[in-house]
Amino acid sequence: MSREDRVCIIGGGPAGISAAMYLEKKGYENYEIYERLNKIGGKCYSPKIKVFGEDRTYETGAIMGAKTYFAVHEVEEFAGVTHEGGPNMRRMYRDKTGKEIFPFDIKKDITPKKVRDLLKLKRQMKKLVQIMNTKYKGYDCYGHVGVAKGEYNGLSKEVERPLHRIKGTNPNLKDLALPFDQFCRLNGVEEVMKIWIGPYTSFGYGYFDEIPAAYVMKYLDTTTAIEFINMRLWTWKDGTQSIYEAANKKLKHPAHLCTEVVKVERPENAPIRVTIRDEAGERVEEFDKLLVTTPLDHFVKFADAREEETELFGKIIHEKYVDFIATFEEDEGPTISGYIFDNMTPDRLGHAMVYYHRWEDLEENCPCTVYALRNHMGSPDAAYEYTIKTMEKDMKKCGFPVKERLYEQESYYCPHVSPDDYADGWYDKLDAMQGKQNTFYAGEILSFGDMEDTCASSRDIVGRFF
Ligand SMILES: Cc1cc2nc3c(=O)[nH]c(=O)nc-3n(C[C@H](O)[C@H](O)[C@H](O)COP(=O)(O)OP(=O)(O)OC[C@H]3O[C@@H](n4cnc5c(N)ncnc54)[C@H](O)[C@@H]3O)c2cc1C
């Protein structure tokens, strides 16, 4: 690998922008980033909306981080952006009828059963922290290489010494391929799902009977989970998109916007030919290396994919996460974010699971983002229109009649593989393919569908292969 190599980065989301940053830090300056949209940040999209004559940012995609966002912090520092001064995260809980509930409050609606249940939950949370640090030692690194074989090998998530490589053997790690609900039952900690479901399922990452425990525990490692529980979360005043926009401006070669990669040809012993389409039309650019940060199951459709690429990437599953930003009838909106716990199980597909109230000072006149999942492995999808209508009805039940939807979207969200494919070593097969035909794979699938795991994966790939 030479620092003079021409590197093509496909995608200007967190993975692509952070990969360029890490390449520059390593002395690679001969790269180009192609982004098909007219904006940087991918699923970090923070549009400005005028309310009472004042423009403020709202979030349609990523909202928050925590003190365990080590790689995102490196991007922040490079970009000159800070999470200090972002709006506070505050929340309450509701049931499916819209009524306020207090599932974790030891002072409200107290009964002997509730006290017993809360004590049991506390004991099991303690047990989970303990087994993750002992029985599952090594679980808390980015990525999944080796896990299916009972090994760990990745950048550490330890607060004391993050982002250094840890490596070892621990046969118990194979359990992480199990769906999270089975993993919890196996370890006698099923009560913890009541807590983990909030930041996990409501944020669109899937249901606990279908998602390998590895994704849950690597995202909500015990430190991050405790930060969530105590609401010590990072947000960005100008939105998460501002991190990547500012970082892009600091790069020696900012991304080419409105430039879609439509074809990739990788002939033997010759440069990689990348066909790009922009407003001037189509043209071919030549590169020595390719760094793919866009969905790999999409990549095989526009690249000269090898059979093993088509087969492996064909196994990727993604969530269908729907959200809209809504205004409410005057003085009738929420004044704080809410979790609707009853709606976080597959029988409630298409129902609103969470709503995000961003600006405390705007009180009930603050536009809010409302979120729902419409797919579950083994069930028919909830139709998109049904989902939107159901989300509006759920908000009304909570007492918040939607006046207007200002923005709505469905995201290709949280790419992952099934428990069986995980156990079959999907990630080891992917790792063995890194570098073949001078192609490197990065982005959300590498570790987890959040900003931190995505940026850390870019750091890892650049560190190992460039
Ligand atoms: C509703 C929602 C809530 C979220 N909440 C959080 C949160 O609170 N905290 C958190 O950490 N994360 C959150 N996330 C997840 C986070 O946004 C993603 O994990 C992250 O954006 C993934 O980065 P990426 O670069 O891998 O992919 P993306 O962000 O999807 O970026 C990929 C980019 O590639 C571009 N592209 C695709 N195909 C091509 C092509 N052929 N040519 C050129 N460009 C192409 C796309 O336009 C896109 O810009 C949330 C996401 C959503 C949608």
Name the residue at shortest CA distance from atom 26 of ligand 1: 443
50 beta partners: 55
Name the residue at shortest CA distance from atom 4 of ligand 1: 62
pLDDT at res. 53: 85
Q: Tell me the C-alpha distance between 282 and 262, whole Å.
A: 9
Averaged over 398-426, what is the pLDDT?
A: 98
Q: Is 14 exposed, middle or buried (0-12, 13-18, 19+ CB in 10 A)?
A: buried
The pair of three-digit structure tokens given for residue 346, joined into one six-digit string? 């597959």
Number of helical H runs and strand E runs in the chain? 14, 18
Which segments of the chain belong to CATH 1.10.405.20? 103-228
Residue-wise burial string across 102-125, b where 16 or more C-beta atoms lie within 10 A, e elsewhere: ebeeeeeeeeeebeeebeebeebb
The pLDDT tens digits for 124-151 are 999 999 999 999 999 999 999 999 999 9
CA of 13 to the centre of ligand 1 (A): 5
- What radius of gyration, in Å, describes the C-alpha atoms of the chain? 22
pLDDT at res. 164: 96
Q: Which of 22, 43, 256 to mutate to test the pocket of ligand 1 (most atoms within 8 A of CB)?
A: 43
The pair of three-digit structure tokens given for residue 441, joined into one six-digit string? 């794979």
- The DSSP call for residue 401 is -
Model confidence at 248, pLDDT cuts 50, 70, 90, reads: very high
Cβ atoms of 238 and 34 closer than 8 Å? no
CATH 3.40.50.2300 is held by the domain 103-228: no
How far out from the chain centre does Cα 190 lie?
Answer: 24
Q: What torsion, rounded to 10 degrees, do the Cα atoms 405, 385, 91, 242 define? A: -60
Averaged over 302-329, what is the pLDDT?
A: 98
Name the residue at shortest CA distance from atom 21 of ligand 1: 43
Q: Which of 33, 450, 461 to mutate to test the pocket of ligand 1 (most atoms within 8 A of CB)?
A: 450
For the chain, give the number of residues: 466
Return the CATH number of the domain spanning residue range 49-63+86-90+317-416.
3.30.70.1990
Which segments of the chain belong to CATH 3.50.50.60? 7-43+240-315+417-465
Which segments of the chain belong to CATH 3.30.70.1990? 49-63+86-90+317-416
Of 305, 304, 321, the residue nearest 415 (C-alpha): 321
Averaged over 378-407, what is the pLDDT?
A: 97
Name the residue at shortest CA distance from atom 5 of ligand 1: 62
289 beta partners: 7
Model confidence at 51, pLDDT cuts 50, 70, 90, reads: confident
Averaged over 371-379, what is the pLDDT?
A: 96
pTM over 0.95: yes
pLDDT at res. 1: 74
% of residues, the chain, pLDDT over 90: 98
CA distances from 450 to 29, 327, 413 (A): 27, 27, 10
Model confidence at 52, pLDDT cuts 50, 70, 90, reads: confident
Model confidence at 23, pLDDT cuts 50, 70, 90, reads: very high
Q: Who contacts 399 (Cβ-Cβ below 8 Å, separation ≥6)?
A: 98, 332
**165-173 CB contacts, 8 Å cutoff, 24+ apart:** 166/138, 166/141, 168/137, 168/138, 170/136, 170/137, 170/138, 172/135, 172/136, 173/136, 173/138, 173/139, 173/146, 173/147
CA of 363 to the centre of ligand 1 (A): 29
Ligand 1 neighbours by CB, cut-off 6 Å: 10-16, 34-37, 42-44, 61-65, 203, 260-261, 293-294, 321, 323, 411, 413, 443-444, 449-452, 454
The pLDDT tens digits for 86-127 are 999 999 999 999 999 999 998 999 999 999 999 999 999 999
Identify the CATH class of 7-43+240-315+417-465.
alpha beta
